[in-house]
Amino acid sequence: MYGATVDLNDASLHALGIHRLEIPVPFLEAGGPANVYVIEDADGRNTLFDTGIGTSDGLAALRGQASEWGLDLRNLSRIIVSHGHLDHFGNAQLLSEESGAPVFVHDADVDKVLGEARFGTLLRKHQGYFLRLGVPADTLALMQAGADRSGNTVRYVERARLRALHDGDALHFRHFDAVVKHLPGHTPGLVCLWAEEPRFFFADDHVLARVSPNPVLDFCQGEGASKFRALSRYLDGARWVRDLEVHAILPGHGPAFTGHRELLDGLFEFYGRRQGKLHARLAESPASIFELLPTLYLRRDLPRLVLMLSEVLANVEVLEDQGRVAVVDPGAEIVRYAAR
Ligand SMILES: [Zn+2]
Ligand SMILES: [Zn+2]
């Protein structure tokens, strides 16, 4: 928890034609059940903002809660995917088949919803990159084995069902209008919806009350100079949201809340402290990303290793962008950073 939050009653959302369904997520990092927002269109149909995870529990929760509210999931005009994570797009293919509704996603996350960015595949393709981060070869082999073992019950979305979603796209609903806002960071193609009239910000995983946004290592823009710098981009987007005059944040996990400025200020401080620790460590001696893990984490945990490496790398990239650290020898086999 990074700041004080105030729950906003779901009943006040219904008056605006917004129905929040809570879909259980079987992994802790998500920060609780994922929200599906069913938003009433002017023509009697509904727009879906996110779909929940496609496990049998997830689908049962989605169907059960929709019927409780009298919502017909076959009567959809469009399915909008906020970003390419399973707990948000998992039922998109099935719901699209049942309703005939197209699936809207930003170009930069299309690889994820198509299933072309599975972690096992990425790890194999970018082995050299992880070795340069200083990950020992035997640890990398264990990470690869773990990634290949993880069962794949996901239904990805067929390309023919996809429609492009762009920053600035206008969306019309029964009770309000909204505009699509592309805010890369948590993923490269993450979008939020800004409804200026009720001053509601549909934030999915860009602003969450209980967890920081996990700036996960991403290769959609390559490994080199063009590499996607998740946390740097995230912080730019978070500063933009901070300055919005928001009545309520409708997040991807948990109930609607107010007090986003205090929350985001707390988050900026949280990352500032992490960057301070990494900078202090690098002032002692140069280190690789792998060697920096103990600076932020008490112990290494293999299933979470990629998240840990992502978090360290993302914070070091911010320090690098600020000119506070630099790569010692860009040609070296293992890339090490030093404080400047
Ligand atoms: Zn996410
Ligand atoms: Zn999420």
Tell me how far the alpha carbon of residue 169 lies from the centroid of ligand 2, in angstroms: 22
Q: What is the pLDDT of residue 149?
A: 81
* Residue 196 alpha carbon to ligand 1 centre in Å: 24
pLDDT at 31: 76
Cα 30 to averaged position of ligand 1 atoms, centre (Å):
7
Contact call for residues 301 and 267 (beta carbons, < 8 A): no
pLDDT number for residue 166:
98
Residues lower than pLDDT 70 in the chain: 1-8, 151-152
Q: What is the distance in A from the centroid of ligand 2 to the CA of 205?
A: 5
CA gyration radius, the chain: 20
Give the integer Cα–Cα distance in Å for 227 and 219: 7
Ligand nearest to the CA of 208: 2
The identity of residue 79, as a single letter, is I
pLDDT of 6: 47
- Identify the nearest ligand to the CA of 307 by its number: 1
Q: Write down the residue that tokens 């996110």 correspond to.
A: 50
According to DSSP, the residues that pair with 6 across neighbouring strands are 258
**Ligand of minimum distance to the alpha carbon of 188:** 1
Ligand 1 centroid to Cα of residue 29, in Å, is 9
Ligand in nearest proximity to the CA of 51: 2
Residue 49, strand partner residues: 37, 80
Q: What is the dihedral of CA 237, 162, 195, 171, to 10 degrees?
A: 140
Residue 91 CA to ligand 1 centre (angstroms): 15
CA of 137 to the centre of ligand 2 (A): 31
Q: From the CA of 190, how far away is ligand 1's center (Å)?
A: 9
Per-residue confidence (pLDDT) for residue 102, from 0 to 100 = 98
Tokens of 198: 């009720």
83 CA to centre of ligand 1 in angstroms: 7
Q: What distance in angstroms lies between residue 333's CA and the mean position of ligand 2's atoms?
A: 35
Nearest ligand to the CA atom of 36: 2
Q: Give the number of whichever ligand sits closest to the CA of residue 25.
A: 2
Sheet strands (E) in the chain = 6-7, 18-23, 34-40, 46-49, 76-80, 103-106, 162-165, 170-172, 177-182, 191-195, 200-204, 248-251, 257-258, 325-327, 337-339
User: Which residues, in sequence order, are bridge partners of residue 257?
Assistant: 7, 249
pLDDT of residue 49: 98
Query: Which ligand ends up closest to the CA of 34?
Result: 2
* 149: Cα within 13 Å, side-chain hemisphere: 7
C-alpha 67 to ligand 2 mean position (Å): 23
Domains detected in the chain = 6-115+154-258 (3.60.15.10)
* Ion ligand 2: residue ranges with CB closer than 5 A: 87, 205, 252
> Quick one: which of 297, 286, 281 has its CA closest to 335?
286
**pLDDT value of position 224:** 87
The angle subtended at Cα 256 by Cα 311 and Cα 47, nearest 5°, is: 95
Residue 87 Cα to ligand 1 midpoint, Å, equals: 7
Q: What is the pLDDT of residue 151?
A: 61
Alpha carbon separation from 62 to 14, 24, 250, 304, 319 (Å, rounded): 17, 9, 18, 28, 42
238 and 184 Cβ atoms separated by less than 8 Å: no
Q: What is the whole-number distance in angstroms between the Cα of residue 226 and the centre of ligand 2?
A: 26
Distance (Å) from CA 85 to ligand 1 centroid: 5
Of the ligands numbered here, which is closest to the C-alpha atom of 187? 1
Q: 81: CA distance to ligand 2 center in Å?
A: 11
Distance 285 CA to ligand 2 centre (A): 37
pTM beyond cutoff 0.85:
yes
Characterize 103-125 residue by residue with b for buried, 16 or more Cβ atoms within 10 angstroms of its Cβ, and e for exposed: bbbbebbbbbbeeebbbbebbee
Q: Give all strands (DSSP E) within 116-222, no chain letters.
A: 162-165, 170-172, 177-182, 191-195, 200-204
> In the 8-state DSSP scheme, what is residue 160?
G
Give residue 103's region: left, alpha or beta (phi > 0; psi -120 to 50): beta
Tokens for 182, please give them: 């592309």
Reported residue count of the chain is: 340
Q: Measuring CA to CA, which residue among 263, 259, 251, 258 is closest to residue 22? A: 251
Angle between helix 305-321 and helix 230-242 axes, rounded to 10 deg: 70
pLDDT of residue 5: 47
C-alpha of residue 339 to centroid of ligand 1, in Å:
32
Residue 209's φ and ψ, nearest 5 degrees, are -75, -30
Distance CA 197, CA 168 (A): 16
Closest alpha carbon to 168 in 181, 149, 159, 158: 181
